[in-house]
């Protein structure tokens, strides 16, 4: 299955773990920093933006309580997995930058 392979390949690149379908609670991949929903589609249109981004925003508060950043990985079949786009909220970017800067101060 294409989507399962995409989840595995993206998990490898992000040092994450693919969450099996039966154990999922709103995320495809789990990493030390991110909760990631993976979408691998030939066409990325309004469906993606209206449904999946809304899901991320709905689950964002729960993920923040677990100190994780909710995000979506967008991959097109045939695209190199290293070119997968990772999208997340501006407020989470701010939180991530603070986390990184605190490691160096």
Q: So where are the chain's domains?
A: 2-103
Nearest to 34 by CA among 11, 4, 1: 11
As a whole number of angstroms, the distance between CA 14 and CA 36 comes to 10
CATH C-level class of 2-103: alpha beta
Which residues of the chain, if any, have pLDDT below 50?
none
Q: What is the pLDDT of residues 33-42, one digit of tens each?
A: 888 888 887 7
pLDDT of residue 9: 93
């Amino acid at each position: 299955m294409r989507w399962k392979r995409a989840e595995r390949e993206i998990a490898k690149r992000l040092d994450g773990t693919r969450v099996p379908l039966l154990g999922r609670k709103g995320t495809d991949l789990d990493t030390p920093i991110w909760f990631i929903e993976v979408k691998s589609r030939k066409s990325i249109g309004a469906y993606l933006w209206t449904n999946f981004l809304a899901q991320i925003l709905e689950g964002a508060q729960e993920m923040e309580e677990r100190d994780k950043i909710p995000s979506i990985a967008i991959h097109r079949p045939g695209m190199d997995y290293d070119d997968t786009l990772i999208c997340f909220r501006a407020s989470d970017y701010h939180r991530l930058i603070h986390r990184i800067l605190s490691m160096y101060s």
